[in-house]
Amino acid sequence: MAVLDAFDLTGRVAVVTGGNRGLGLAFARALGEAGARVAIAARDSERSAAALAEVRAVWPDAIAVTLDVTKREDVYRMLETVTARLGPVDVLVNNAGACIHRPSLEVTPEQWNEVMRVNLDGVWNCCQIIGEQMVGRRSGVIVNVGSISALIVNRPQWQPAYNSSKAAVHQLTKSLAAEWAPYGVRVNALAPGYMKTEMAQVDEPRFHRYWIEDAPMERCGVPAELGATMVYLASDASAFMTGSILVIDGGYTLF
């Protein structure tokens, strides 16, 4: 196989949760450009429709499916729809996420639970339900979107629930990778640093001082810069890679 051929995803079916904006949309576009049949799975159907139009501009074989990752019945329904319309899922990207900036003593039980439901339970729901199909077929790739917040404590904002949830996602990634490797299912995680998205307000002065000026590259990333990495993780180019946490952060965690 030629080197570039290893990145080809032609004919494979990929699901991207939270794929209608930010990092998720960049992942969906990149997977589509690599040849995958892409399903954008997210809660906001109107936003998903707009995202679908953008993805179809570069690759027409894509659909949008309404999904709340915290509801297992939604995951089953999404899987049934995708399988019927595109085929069995070859690649699952668990990207849907939530974050609340609040000091620990001010975090309410509802806020803590909401972050955990989306960031951890949602990943678990999708991994377990779609992973069962992959294990049965003895083939599949799962990429969980973690964060450098699993490795550091961010500043100046406090976000204990988010940090804890992403650390759990990294460990869940390793656990599933070890268990499912004999069945031909690879599980890895991508841990981005500060990226310019709606969730990360990198241009706000109180954040810029720490998020940008403290980074070795002295800039944030943009979602498109992660697209090629997602294709690598989803494709045969990373065939001998499982249980890894791939950090892409402009060097932020070096200090």
Residue 114, pLDDT above cutoff 90 = yes
Closest by CA position to 82, among listed 26, 139, 126, 128: 126
**194 an active-site residue?**
no
Q: Which residues contact 216 (CB under 8 A, 6 or more apart)?
A: 250, 251, 252, 254, 255
Instruction: Say what percent of the chain tops pLDDT 70.
Output: 99
Residue 203, pLDDT above cutoff 80 = no
Helix H or strand E segment including 167: helix 160-180
Distance CA 135, CA 129 (A): 10
Query: Which tokens in the block code for residue 105?
Result: 């003593």
Where residue 1 falls among pLDDT bands split at 50, 70, 90?
A: confident
Where residue 242 falls among pLDDT bands split at 50, 70, 90?
A: very high
> Structural domain boundaries of the chain?
4-246
Distances (CA, A) of 75 to 68, 79, 123, 138: 7, 6, 11, 20
169 φ, ψ (degrees, to nearest 5) = -60, -40
User: For the domain with range 4-246, which CATH number is right: 3.40.50.1220, 3.40.50.720, 3.30.70.20, 3.40.50.1820?
Assistant: 3.40.50.720
Query: Which tokens in the block code for residue 153?
Result: 């404590």
pTM as predicted: 0.96
For 26-84, the pLDDT digits (tens) are 999 999 999 999 999 999 999 999 999 988 888 888 999 999 999 999 999 999 999 99
How many Å separate Cα 76 from the centre of its chain? 19
User: Which position among 76, 162, 183, 194 bears the catalytic label?
Assistant: 162
According to the model, what pLDDT value does residue 189 have? Answer: 98
For 131-177, the pLDDT digits (tens) are 999 999 999 999 999 999 999 999 999 999 999 999 999 999 999 99
According to the model, what pLDDT value does residue 226 have? Answer: 97
